[in-house]
């Protein structure tokens, strides 16, 4: 096991003999990208595909991801979790990927669905690879030959900035099995039963910790660091991501 925390925004790396977990970058309101790579097959899965996902994959130093990327799971429709999908699909098309691919997202996740449909409509005559999106609900699963995924509904508010109305949005956390290893990712959430189920007894839990302090109870969009560390105790090991980036004034 190797943990690497030079910066609040990553990169963070965790490995065992079955899987490498690489978080090249994660910052609240900017982007989160998590790359799982199977040690045995080299197959890759993305958990969220924020802005810069393509650049982050390229910076791993090999173009092989064009063929080895097997699955993408998007936690919710906020731009910092799915804004990189169009660029990534465009690159795969340009490089003439031929392998099929699946994208998982929460049921009714309109932002991600529209981005994917828009890409498909623009290039439907000239797509060298087939890809499908699947709308997951609480406790539904999706398996490929390489990654076994189970989704859990979490509680994350959506429109609070734009309209000042707090509305729960479609949001999922994921548990992913690679061999006998379970990687858990909360996505964005407040403390809720779903978030606890996602991380429970995982070999590695990746937990958002947006807030330095715990906000008043009526305004619980995200986890605080304290809540994230409490949640992390339910897993065998954990790392925190999705900090608010420090900006020089």
Q: How many Å apart are CA 56 and CA 1, to the nearest integer?
A: 22
Smallest gap, in angstroms, from Cβ of residue 44 to Zn ion?
A: 24
Is residue 111 a contact residue for Zn ion (CB under 5 A)? Answer: no
Is residue 78 a contact residue for Zn ion (CB under 5 A)? Answer: yes
Is residue 222 a contact residue for Zn ion (CB under 5 A)? Answer: no
Closest to Zn ion by CB, 79 or 129:
79
Closest to Zn ion by CB, 188 or 227:
188
Place of tokens 């990208």: 33
The b-or-e profile of 173-205 (16+ CB within 10 A means b, else e) is bbbbbbeebbbbbbbbbbbbebbbbbbeebbbb
Is residue 153 a contact residue for Zn ion (CB under 5 A)? Answer: no
- Quick note: the x/- pattern for Zn ion over 175-204, rule CB under 5 A, is -------------x----------------
Closest to Zn ion by CB, 169 or 199:
169
Smallest gap, in angstroms, from Cβ of residue 62 to Zn ion?
A: 30
Smallest gap, in angstroms, from Cβ of residue 14 to Zn ion?
A: 23
- CA torsion 184-188-191-194 (nearest 10°) is -50
Closest to Zn ion by CB, 78 or 190:
78
Cα–Cα nearest to 51, from 83, 16, 11, 88: 83
Estimate the crossing angle of helix 110-123 against helix 85-94, to 10 degrees: 30
Footprint of Zn ion (CB under 5 A) = 78, 188
């Amino acid at each position: 096991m190797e943990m690497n925390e030079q910066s609040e925004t990553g990169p963070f790396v965790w490995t065992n003999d079955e899987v490498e977990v690489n978080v090249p970058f994660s910052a609240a309101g900017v982007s989160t990208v998590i790359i799982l790579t199977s040690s045995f097959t080299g197959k890759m899965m993305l958990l969220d595909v924020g802005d810069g996902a393509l650049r982050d994959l390229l910076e791993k130093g090999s173009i092989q991801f064009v063929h080895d990327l097997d699955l993408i799971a998007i936690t919710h429709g906020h731009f910092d979790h799915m804004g990189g999908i169009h660029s990534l699909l465009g690159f795969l098309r340009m490089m003439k990927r031929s392998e099929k691919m699946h994208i998982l997202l929460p049921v009714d996740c309109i932002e991600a669905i529209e981005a994917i449909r828009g890409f498909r409509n623009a290039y439907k005559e000239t797509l060298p690879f087939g890809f499908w999106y699947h709308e997951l609900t609480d406790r539904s699963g999706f398996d490929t030959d390489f990654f076994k995924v189970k989704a859990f509904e979490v509680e994350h508010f959506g429109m609070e900035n734009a309209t000042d109305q707090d509305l729960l949005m479609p949001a999922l956390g994921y548990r992913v099995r690679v061999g006998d290893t379970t990687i858990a990712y909360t996505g964005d959430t407040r403390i809720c039963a779903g978030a606890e189920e996602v991380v429970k007894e995982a070999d590695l839990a990746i937990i958002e910790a947006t807030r330095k302090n715990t906000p008043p109870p009526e305004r619980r969009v995200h986890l605080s660091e304290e809540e994230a560390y409490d949640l992390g105790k339910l897993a065998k090991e954990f790392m925190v991501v999705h900090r608010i980036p420090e900006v020089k004034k």
